[in-house]
């Protein structure tokens, strides 16, 4: 009995310790740096294209938002468990994910590419990856794509927790190629360590896996929030805020219908 009371008190303590100010929309981003979309500086502030877009969307939709870094691996459970309210972590809209969560309209769409060391003469398809070690980030469309299309050709598909770790191993020579998003990779090959490597091209499209672009993830049934965000996406695309932010980070457009 006494034990029950202690447990109840402890639970109550947890509850009050964590009770938040109401009505703030918590935007979940991945806690693993994913430059140039989201990365922390040494002061612990997150910045990047996606963070700025998130803030712009909140402003347009008149929402009070809080950027909440969450482990990428558990980001959908965190959304369903209501630790966060919206996922804005470069998450592609796929059929599999759409069974569990709802998505807004997409706010960017870029192809998937293969990156390999310079001079490797690799082609971005199963023939080019024959007998090679390919690295992908866990829980991404790239992992799903590689495991469907390259499983037989590649000698190994190595799954990393973060994109940066995959890039690091490409740089160190532990893997022969990386499959990832074209924009993130363009940023990588322009960095000092990315100097080793080049984008060899887009992988053949497979919409059932690669999805319909990147959208914000929400719990199913929260239609009001979804409508607000959809309107906000349309609004910032219309009034130039979207392009303004994009120009700060990219030299090309990253939106296609």
Residues lying near other proteins in the complex (CB under 8 A) are found at 2-3, 6, 10-11, 14-15, 17-20, 22, 26, 31-33, 39-44, 69-74, 76-77, 81-83, 96-97, 99-100, 133, 138-139, 143-144, 158-162, 164-165, 168-169, 171-175, 192-193, 196
Name the residue nearer to other proteins (CB basis): 56 or 209.
209
Name the residue nearer to other proteins (CB basis): 41 or 257.
41
Cα distances (Å, whole numbers) of residue 55 to 26, 148, 150, 186, 242: 11, 36, 38, 24, 11
- To which H or E segment does residue 200 belong? strand 197-202
Q: Is the peptide bond before 52 cis (omega within 30 degrees of 0)?
A: no
Name the residue nearer to other proteins (CB basis): 192 or 257.
192
Minimum CB–partner distance for residue 192 and other proteins (Å)? 8
Minimum CB–partner distance for residue 171 and other proteins (Å)? 6
| Residue that is written with structure tokens 């639970």 in the block | 11
Which value, in Å, is the radius of gyration of the alpha carbons in the chain?
A: 20
Minimum CB–partner distance for residue 45 and other proteins (Å)? 10
What sign results for the dihedral spanned by CA atoms 3, 4, 5, 10?
A: positive
Name the residue nearer to other proteins (CB basis): 193 or 234.
193
């Amino acid at each position: 009995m006494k034990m029950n009371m202690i447990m109840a008190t402890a639970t109550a303590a947890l509850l009050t310790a964590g009770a938040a100010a109401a009505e703030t929309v918590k935007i979940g981003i991945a806690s693993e740096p994913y430059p140039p979309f989201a990365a922390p500086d040494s002061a612990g502030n997150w910045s990047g294209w996606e963070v700025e877009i998130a803030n712009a969307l909140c402003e347009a939709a008149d929402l009070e938002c809080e950027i909440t870094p969450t482990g990428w691996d558990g980001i959908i459970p965190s959304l369903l468990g209501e630790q966060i309210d919206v996922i804005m972590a470069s998450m592609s809209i796929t059929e599999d994910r759409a069974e569990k969560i709802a998505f807004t309209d997409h706010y960017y769409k870029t192809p998937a590419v293969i990156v390999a060391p310079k001079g490797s003469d690799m082609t971005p398809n199963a023939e080019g990856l024959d007998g090679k070690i390919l690295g992908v980030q866990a829980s991404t469309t790239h992992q799903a794509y590689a495991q469907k299309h390259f499983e037989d050709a590649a000698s190994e598909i190595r799954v990393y927790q973060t994109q940066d770790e995959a890039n690091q191993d490409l740089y160190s020579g532990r893997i022969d190629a990386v499959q990832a998003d074209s924009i993130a990779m363009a940023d990588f090959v322009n960095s000092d360590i990315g100097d080793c490597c080049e984008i060899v091209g887009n992988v053949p499209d497979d919409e059932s896996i690669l999805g319909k672009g990147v959208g914000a993830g929400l719990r199913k049934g929260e239609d009001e929030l979804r409508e607000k965000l959809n309107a906000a996406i349309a609004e910032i695309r219309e009034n130039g805020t979207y392009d303004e932010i994009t120009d700060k980070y990219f030299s090309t457009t990253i939106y296609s219908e």
